[in-house]
Amino acid sequence: MNHVTVITGASSGIGAELARQLASAGHSVALLARREVALKRLAEEITQAGGHAEVFSVDVSDQDAVVDAMDKIETQMGPITTLVANAGIGDSTPAKKFNSDKVERIIRVNLLGVIYCIDYVLPGMLERDHGHIVGIGSLAGYRGLPGSAGYCASKAGLAALLESLRIELQTTGVAVTTICPGFVKTPLTERNHHPMPFILELDDATRRIVKAMDKKRTEYAFPWPLAFTVKLARFVPNWIYDRILRNQSAQKEPSKTN
């Protein structure tokens, strides 16, 4: 079966590496992001390696632009079989400098951007009774973190959105996978000044994501020591959780998160 795989945020980091690995596994990849030059460079690299990649420059927070890009993808490449909603931004949103514009910008890309993509691809996938929606969430979506209210809210929202869809779609041919990475070495985490335990190399993290996609895992949170800790933290009472995190928030500059 011909895989037509849309990858948002393909101009750098996880999205770019996913494009390389999925293309070498035989997927025709549609590369989406705002930076067209970076996308074209990647498409060239993939083509030279024998794969098939096309470039669609788009801001995922603009629904009309998303619809336009998806229309072009289906015309040029065929029906979309897999959506990897990966585009995301991280920025600090400290409580004492709370700024709704900043939070809105994060939500627009990390959550609404995914919603716009799903809105386009899901009806076709349901009609064909075949498809895979993959969302790149984060371990930061499991509990709130100091300095990261906007990012945590976007990823918690994404996790809830994907889980709700997954449950409803389980009797159809459309699978939903939520990927929750810990820290991965990308331009996003390069700007972080706080400790990033168990940080993974990009190719290693991406290989794990591709494997989880192949297995159509419902959720894949990794690396396991950090994922286990974060999941366990959900059962820690607030008074303990707050006390542990209070020291951290006093020490660190708000992060660009993961």
Ligand X SMILES: NC(=O)c1ccc[n+]([C@@H]2O[C@H](COP(=O)([O-])OP(=O)(O)OC[C@H]3O[C@@H](n4cnc5c(N)ncnc54)[C@H](OP(=O)(O)O)[C@@H]3O)[C@@H](O)[C@H]2O)c1
Could you give the residue numbers annotated as active site?
151
Minimum gap (Å) between residue 133 Cβ and ligand X? 14
Q: Interface with ligand X includes 114 (CB under 6 A)?
A: no
Q: Interface with ligand X includes 150 (CB under 6 A)?
A: no
Can you tell me which residue has the tokens 């990823």?
155
Return the range that interacts with ligand X (CB under 6 A); candidates 20-28, 86-94, 169-177, 221-229: 86-94
Question: Can you tell me which of 148, 186, 206, 255 binds ligand X, judged by CB under 6 A?
Answer: 186
Q: What distance in Å separates the CA atoms of residue 245 and residue 71, rounded to the nearest whole number?
A: 46
Q: What distance in Å separates the CA atoms of residue 21 and residue 4, rounded to the nearest whole number?
A: 14
Can you tell me which residue has the tokens 């500059």?
253
Q: 93, exposed or middle or buried, with CB in 10 Å at 0-12, 13-18, 19+?
A: buried
Question: Can you tell me which of 136, 152, 174, 227 binds ligand X, judged by CB under 6 A?
Answer: 136
Question: Can you tell me which of 21, 189, 206, 255 binds ligand X, judged by CB under 6 A?
Answer: 189
The amino acid at residue 229 is T
Q: Interface with ligand X includes 187 (CB under 6 A)?
A: yes
Which is it for the CA torsion 229, 234, 235, 237, positive or negative? positive
Q: Which residues bind ligand X (CB under 6 A)?
A: 8-15, 33-35, 59-61, 86-90, 109, 136, 138, 181, 183-184, 186-189, 258
